[in-house]
Amino acid sequence: MKQDKPLILVTNDDGISAPGIRALIAVMAEIGTVVIVAPDSPQSATGHSITINDTLYINKISKENDIIQEYSTSGTPVDCVKLAVNEILKRKPDLCVSGINHGSNSSINVIYSGTMSAAVEAGIEGIPAIGFSLLDYSWNADFEPIKSFIRTIALEVLENGLPESVILNVNFPKLAKKEIKGIKICRQAKALWIEKFDKRQTPQGRDYYWLAGEFVNQDNGEDTDEWALANGYVSVVPVQFDLTAHHAIQQLNTWKWNEIANNN
């Protein structure tokens, strides 16, 4: 019977020992054959970084007869997906899930997120993929209230597939289960981080900086992920990796590009 189970690749960006991935593994083990390939150390905010100027290592953590096969790598979350598909699984899994991230990946955070970049990489490779994040940055975040949502979203994706070249970015509010009002399909809110670097000095007197900042939502739309999360809903944003601003092509074509070229 085991071969009828879906093959599910689990990864994250908080590192293989994070409680968030442990919760995700527990849910996925109920519905499929699980293989874990995750970074050996925290890789938050690594975005779609890949390792091209350095070597990559794979460490097998599970024993040969363990039901769940588990590997850590020295790479980024995106490296983990590439290594998993090409070197460890040697085939595409039926589903790739990333997370559960300790902290929000809503709105503009999607672009900085290692969790989402791993899911997007799987999507680029044609694998149905979902990133899960909980709006709680603490290591001791409580993932219990959201486990059943994750289970059913994963089962729906396994059953229905996803639209071509679309990845799901799922964020959960930090609420008790009974306080979660439901699931909303959303668009990414227009938001950004306003940096406030924290300037300090080394014991030797050299200046250095910590990146800090304030998240600013500039979007009042009630169809956004920020609205959904602030109002007690699970937000689901379909994400694409065609970054073309198609709406801008016509406007840019009104510029005199050939004259520009000819004047050179």
- Applying CB under 8 A, the site for a second copy has a residue count of 87
Report the sign of the C-alpha dihedral through residues 169, 174, 178, 179, in that order: negative
Distance CA 51, CA 121 (A): 14
* Min CB(207)–a second copy separation in Å: 7
Considering only 26, 31, 58, 158, the residue that binds a second copy (CB under 8 A) is 58
2-41 residues in contact with a second copy (CB under 8 A) are none
Considering only 7, 124, 175, 230, the residue that binds a second copy (CB under 8 A) is 124
* Min CB(200)–a second copy separation in Å: 8
Q: Does 195 bind a second copy (CB under 8 A)?
A: yes
262 among annotated binding-site residues? no
* β strands within 149-243, DSSP E: 166-172, 182-185, 191-195, 198-201, 207-210, 213-217, 233-240
Judge contact between 53 and 47, C-beta under 8 A. Answer: no
Of 22 and 165, nearer to a second copy (C-beta) is 165
Distances (CA, A) of 62 to 14, 21, 75, 228: 19, 15, 19, 39
Token representation of residue 155: 């089962």
86 among annotated binding-site residues? no
Looking at 25-33, 64-72, 136-144, 202-210, which segment touches a second copy (CB under 8 A)? 202-210
Q: Does 69 bind a second copy (CB under 8 A)?
A: no
131-190 residues in contact with a second copy (CB under 8 A) are 148-149, 152-153, 156, 160, 162-163, 165-166, 177, 180-185, 187-188, 190
Considering only 31, 45, 158, 230, the residue that binds a second copy (CB under 8 A) is 45
Residue type, 89: L
Token representation of residue 60: 């097998």
Beta pairing partners, 7? 33
53 among annotated binding-site residues? no
